[in-house]
Amino acid sequence: MVLNLNWNYHSHTLYTDGSHTVEEIASYCDGHGIKEIAITEHVKRELSYDFDALLSDIKHANSKFKVNIITGLEAKILPDGTLDCTEEIKSKVDIVIGSVHSLNGMDQYGAYEKLARSDCMIIGHPQLCSDKIIASMVSTGKIVELSARYDQQDDMIMAFKEAGLLFSIGLDSHKLSELDDFDRVKEMIQNFGLQDRLWKFTKNS
């Protein structure tokens, strides 16, 4: 089966640690057959940039290019079990990715347990799991990110699949060349039979 992946729900821009503007990303996607891209910029409760300016850039690029650009964010989990993000910022986007970036005194399993119970939509580039973590992910309706940037263990992917979880294509792109670098993700989808477990964004999802 030939996989035609043309969406990517995890990317970053010059507003944080990416290498390109929103318009440059949109132009690349438009010219390379990517139909849908989510700009999921890093956020904190105290932002160092103008989030509304980012949203304005996305709106402008959406009107200029054929690619569908989705608003999103990526926030780390905190020791109290909440995301490092204000409710106001979360209310402005369509996709909320929660990630484990720094442990802040938590052990890794504890951090992922908190993340699984948090109010994020997608678990960003997960690196480990347990029965307890998976149970929390299932009960809260979490979506698992398939990542080309991080090494995701075979047994973990299989455990997520067997639990009935859906998978998001999120390449965690920081450069233009990473926006459509689907080779590793395609390999995982084919190896683990995930074709019917892929999540696609809809406005009410």
pLDDT at 2 over 70: no
For residue 56, pLDDT over 80 is answered with yes
Query: Tokens at residue 40, please?
Result: 């999921």
At 50, which CATH number?
3.20.20.140
Domains: count for the chain: 1
State the residue range of the domain holding 43: 7-197
Q: What is the mean pLDDT of residues 4-9?
A: 96
2 falls within a domain: no
61-65 CB contacts, 8 Å cutoff, 24+ apart: 61/22, 61/23, 61/25, 61/26, 62/26, 64/23, 64/26, 65/26, 65/27, 65/29, 65/30
Place of tokens 């970036």: 101
pLDDT tens per residue, range 57-95: 999 999 999 999 999 999 999 999 999 999 999 999 999
**Within a domain: 202:** no
Is 139 within a domain? yes
pLDDT at 72: 99
**pTM of structure:** 0.96
Q: How confident is the model at residue 7 (pLDDT cuts 50, 70, 90)?
A: very high
- Per-residue confidence band for 103, with pLDDT thresholds at 50, 70 and 90: confident
Q: What is the pLDDT of residue 102?
A: 83
203 found inside a domain: no
Helix or strand or coil: residue 38?
A: strand
Structure tokens at 65: 């290019």
Confidence of residue 205 (pLDDT cuts 50, 70, 90): low
Is residue 172 scored above 90 in pLDDT? yes
